[in-house]
Amino acid sequence: MNITLLGAGAWGTALAIAFAGKHQVTLWSRETDVADDLRQTRENHRFFPGYQLPESVAISTDFAAAVGTAELLVVATPIAGLRPTVENLKALGVTLPILWVCKGFEAGSGKLPHQVVSEVLGPQAVCGALSGPSFAEEVAAGKPTAIALAANNPAFGRETARQLHSTRLRIYANDDLIGVEVGGAVKNVLAIATGTCDGLGLGLNSRAALMTRGLAEIARLGLALGAQRETFMGLAGMGDLILTCTGDLSRNRRVGLALAENKLLPQILEELGHVAEGVYTAREVDRLARQLGVDMPISAAVAAVLDGRLNAAEAVEQLMARDPKEEVA
């Protein structure tokens, strides 16, 4: 299959490496310096140093040319780049199937990725999400990984999952696009919460409780949006939550650790050097939960800390002071 990856950040580069052994891959970059570096050294020193891109991967800065050779497009930008990317596709009259690996709710609109794509390209666009417990570094290194592929067209989803599946990157078809997207989005918010918990030294009991109650929050919001409950027990729900909340490679967890040190958010993001989607998603999740009447106290606390309305210790005290309730998933 001819695959074009739109975006040469960490995930675009990692997937180019992962897919190159089985498919013809083009990696498109909007940054000329990144593309030149990739051509000359086969390494993405700016966004993803330490991993060699196979010689078979074509590098392009010509958007129309990169798209024109493809059978499948994979958008590998942060969610803020999704709308501009699909608007460029619309301008070219492109009707190819599209997948994305970004996770979150679009800032301002509160839309999930599939809603953004449908809004720009129309409801007839065949599209879907790749999501699950996966760090780009481990995918690029060929370490065994399992993720879900959910699409608005189940037949396309199953066939594409089969074609992209490999021994090291195992891809499982899922017909719950909303659930897969909600799981991928909200787990980043909860990873900030878990990092904060660990940074404050609250212990492993607290971490386990936070993750478990956080999973209940994900499910409540997902169900309110039309997702299937069982999705949150799978790769894109529980699996991604566990990895992002506990893995040292998690950018969102690192944001939480820094918040526990009372660092200011601009400083944290500058030191991080990469996008941490949970920072932008937290506000949208909190707003959407209030709009829908969904109880999400952990997510609300994260949004309050990020907005400067509470510090980390105050947020914990607020959560601990909540009245006891029956445990309901």
| Single-letter code of the amino acid located at 189 | V
Number of H helices and E strands in the chain, helices first, is 15, 10
| Rg value, the chain, Cα | 19
Residue 98's DSSP bridge partners are: 73, 127
Q: Could you tell me if residue 157 is left (phi over 0), alpha (psi between -120 and 50 degrees) or otherwise beta?
A: alpha
> Helix, strand, coil % (nearest 5) of the chain?
55, 15, 30
Q: What is the largest CA-CA distance in the chain?
A: 60
Three-class SS of residue 116? helix
Closest C-alpha to 149, from 167, 136, 135, 163 = 163
Which of the residues are catalytic?
187
Residue 182 CB coordination number (10 Å): 30
**How many Cα neighbours within 13 Å face the side chain of 123?**
0
Three-class SS of residue 81? helix
Residue 68 CB coordination number (10 Å): 13
CB 297 within 8 A of CB 289: no
CB 192 within 8 A of CB 304: no
Cα 283 to Cα 291: distance, rounded to the nearest angstrom: 12
In this structure, what is the dihedral angle of CA atoms 221, 135, 145, 227, given to the nearest 10 degrees?
10
